[in-house]
Structure 1
């Protein structure tokens, strides 16, 4: 048995009140992402986090939090983690596309969008773990650790996973979480500041979110995501819709020039890898 751990964090918010853009408000994008390691590398996560933190002056604690870092520190943090044996997977929802959807009232319910994106995330993570283990002639087992967030009921999350596992959905999904890899009972919730894995998951998730979420001037910052892209999980060498998934899909997303340039660059990495 090959054992893996996925640490899960989020960036942005779930709200649909006043979406941001070039003025203050709730974020246009909401992202959920994971840092994935095998059992051996799980033990190394604190040392990887400390390797990042030791370069920062006047840092008395070991709590690595993306939003508290300046640009240069973010570049350093992402560059350091990009050199490690860790996989990343991020699912990002363009919330403006939900505003006119028939299901908008459902998505406004507390935790609904969070659970929905988590499903997409775990579909991809369990598939990657199964594939990695199979390459070594083994079966995969995944433990999931969520970053504790206010207002989230993780018992409901577990029930949601069990509901899907037991085939009680009205519509058969296109993809499915690999239940041979994940047991819904095998999830935990921890505080961000006490788990290095959650802090590294924050880097992956926030880096992708920054590449898609316009700031107060309408600009996106994709440098952090470009640095971490080699660590995003791949399917047939393809990152998009595997290590990086947008909802709706790339072809249906209303993208500005910077967002499109970033996603086109991600797609282009597969072509370069083939040559």
Structure 2
């Protein structure tokens, strides 16, 4: 049988912890935050995703390319992008790491922080697919996951990581495994997938609320606009569609970042 759901995953920021963090107004250095986001929808909407991307592009006739890179858009274009996404039959999930709070030596292996944060994302994807199954009877109930290809990432290694999590007997792993098709986890290039371009917009929208721009400002409106499609249970967003690591009280949020947090409370 075919998959019931499709999930597309992209990130904003990097998982570098050793290089100096980026200073306001300067180039280079690691991002202070890592945001990994998923765009989930029923497989019956697969072909429509191209139309969603093209609808966004049509609102920006001044652009010469249909391919979306959220970071390259101006403020008005970014708002138009998230306004369009917020009207579509999809759900958004984001996990967010405050990298400056991570003690030195905790994540020493390549991609270790990325894998760890993606585990939280897969957990929430699995809960959403499980809970939504009564409303989506087609297919086998499972989700096929596609990552936006990133340099230095071995996706067979990530599949092995998921298999180790599945074999874990401690009870700490909260993934609902019946809906996760580990063998179907794959990667694709951003430029070839309209769905990954939507996922990029979601990740970048959330990052804008936490990662200061070159002027030191954060912008929560993009993520707030996506609130109608952000996963929640009984309006609880911060345990489901928005996961912040560590807890927000330990992130040292400035007043602008605190406004981003208030969107979900």
The answer, yes or no, to whether TM exceeds 0.5 is yes
Q: Which residue is 2:229 aligned to?
A: 231
Q: CA deviation at 1:87?
A: 0.4
2:20 is the counterpart of 1:18: yes
Cα deviation, 1:173-219, whole Å, max 9, x if unaligned, reads 1x521110002111111000111110000111110011011122322
Return the alpha-carbon distance in structure 2 between the equivalents of residues 132 and 172 of structure 1: 23
Return the alpha-carbon distance in structure 2 between the equivalents of residues 258 and 106 of structure 1: 28
Match of 1:77 among 65, 75, 81: 81
Greater displacement, 18-27 / 131-140: 131-140
Greater displacement, 51-60 / 62-71: 51-60
Q: CA deviation at 1:137?
A: 6.5
Contact 1:15–1:108 under 8 Å retained in 2: no
Q: CA deviation at 1:68?
A: 1.2
When the two structures are superposed, what TM-score results if normalisation uses the length of structure 2? 0.92
**SS in structure 1 opposite 2:217?**
coil
Contact 2:15–2:113 under 8 Å retained in 1: yes
Q: CA deviation at 1:21?
A: 4.4
When the two structures are superposed, what TM-score results if normalisation uses the length of structure 1? 0.89
2:45 is the counterpart of 1:41: yes
Q: Which residue is 1:186 aligned to?
A: 184
Q: What runs of 5+ residues in structure 2 fail to find an aligned partner? A: none
Match of 1:260 among 258, 261, 264: 258
Q: How does 1:94-243 map to 2 (within 5 A)?
A: 94-98=98-102, 101=103, 104-135=104-135, 140-167=141-168, 172-173=171-172, 175-243=173-241
Q: CA deviation at 1:40?
A: 1.2
**SS in structure 2 opposite 1:212?**
coil
Cα deviation, 1:40-76, whole Å, max 9, x if unaligned, reads 1122000010000012234333211101111111010
2:20 is the counterpart of 1:9: no
Return the alpha-carbon distance in structure 2 between the equivalents of residues 3 and 90 of structure 1: 21
Contact 1:193–1:199 under 8 Å retained in 2: yes
**SS in structure 2 opposite 1:189?**
strand
Could you say if the C-alpha distance between residues 58 and 217 of structure 1 is closer, same or farther in structure 2, counting changes exceeding 3 Å? Answer: closer
